[in-house]
Amino acid sequence: MYREHYGLSERPFELTANPNYLYLTPVHREALSNLQYGLAAAKAVTLLIGEAGTGKTTLLNAALASDRCRHVRGVQLNNPSLTRSEFIELVARRLNLSATAATSKAAFLEELESALRSRRSRGEITALIVDEAQSMNHELLEEIRLLANIETMSEKLLPIVLVGQPDLGARLEEPKLRQLKQRVALRCEITPFDLPETATYIAARVHKAGGVAVRLFTREAVMLIHAHSGGIPRTINVICDNALVHGVALGYQPVGRDIVLDVCRDFSFVRQSVDGARPARQEGQNGVDPALRARGPSSEAADSSGNPVQPDQVTTRSRFRLFDAMRQPLGR
């Protein structure tokens, strides 16, 4: 809808795990490397932890699609509410085991081991990848632990990757899950972006879509996007995409602080500590604040006294780094 207006070849902030848009901070790069190692070297259990929307599934897909893991075949489960028998049935089906294996545990284990051995003899690694593992019940996690035990004399036959939100780390501290915890060979944790990373992320996505970030967002807009998203990529995407839509409706370019604040309020992303004392906006035509409509394009440079970002969040140094990040999209 807004591609022509901003000179973009595609929408840069879609909520998909498109590998072309992968952006790696040093923390993400390390996590990706650990994931690749855990999968490619068939480690018993690899743990990937991060808050909702920080990019766990994106990173996992990137690891599976990478060259280092070209011999790895992932069996992905992302429904934590399965019963024990549904879990077995699903794994059996994903691995093309027989109908009997889907209903009899003994047949399942026998067929599974034989399938894993024959794949391994062809140089193929089969990995069980469990997303949303923080919500999995104890029974299911115990079942997964037992599968992690299948091994030859020298290697694990079914490496497991557990992906989940920080609760997963806490759950593994429970005494009844200690055996699973002991099998964790690698642990990676991803964190939200800091301000320069948010700016670079936005710039990199815009650049990939054929645009120039400084022509789409003012610096102050980027600071606010960071402050209200908490550096969570999914939330950054939602704010940016909607801010660009609003920008087209109002004929603004680049998008400034008012539009970003408007979008954040619409989505209830506003963090009070960041938003300062600005009054709640009044609903106007098309959901746009009438005051905003009347003001016309905002002058970001003159707005420092009303800057809603906390002073400790935007130091002079980070302003310079932010400026650099926006001017020089780094891509990956």
Ligand X SMILES: Nc1ncnc2c1ncn2[C@@H]1O[C@H](COP(=O)(O)OP(=O)(O)OP(=O)(O)O)[C@@H](O)[C@H]1O
Q: How far is the CB of 148 from Mg ion (least distance, A)?
A: 21
Q: How far is the CB of 225 from ligand X (least distance, A)?
A: 14
- The helix (H) or strand (E) run that includes residue 320 is helix 316-327
The partner in contact with residue 16, picked from Mg ion, ligand X, none with C-beta cut-offs of 5 to 8 angstroms by kind, is ligand X
Residue 107 burial by CB count (10 A; 0-12/13-18/19+): exposed, middle or buried? middle
Q: How many residues bind ligand X (CB under 6 A)?
A: 19
Asked if 219 interacts with ligand X (CB under 6 A), we say no
Interaction mask 19-58, ligand X, x per CB under 6 A: --xxx----x---------------------x-xxxxxxx
* Smaller CB separation from Mg ion, 48 or 125: 48
- The helix (H) or strand (E) run that includes residue 275 is helix 272-275
Report phi then psi at 190, rounded to 5.
-110, 150
Tell me the CB-side half-sphere exposure of residue 174, using CA atoms within 13 A. 13
Asked if 183 interacts with ligand X (CB under 6 A), we say no
Q: How far is the CB of 137 from ligand X (least distance, A)?
A: 18
Report helix angle 195-208 to 233-250, nearest 10: 60
Asked if 65 interacts with ligand X (CB under 6 A), we say no
**C-alpha–C-alpha distance, residues 56 and 132, integer Å:** 10
Start-to-end CA distance of the chain, whole Å, equals: 26
The partner in contact with residue 28, picked from ligand X, Mg ion, none with C-beta cut-offs of 5 to 8 angstroms by kind, is ligand X
Taking a C-beta distance cutoff of 8 angstroms, is the pair 209, 9 a contact? yes
* Smaller CB separation from ligand X, 22 or 222: 22
Q: Which residues bind to Mg ion, rule: CB under 5 A?
A: 56-57
Q: Which two tokens stand for residue 130?
A: 């469990």
Taking a C-beta distance cutoff of 8 angstroms, is the pair 32, 24 a contact? yes
- Judged by CB under 6 A, the stretch of 9-17, 64-72, 168-176, 285-293 that binds ligand X is 9-17
Asked if 231 interacts with ligand X (CB under 6 A), we say no
| Contact positions vs ligand X (CB under 6 A) | 15-17, 21-23, 28, 50, 52-58, 165, 233-234, 237
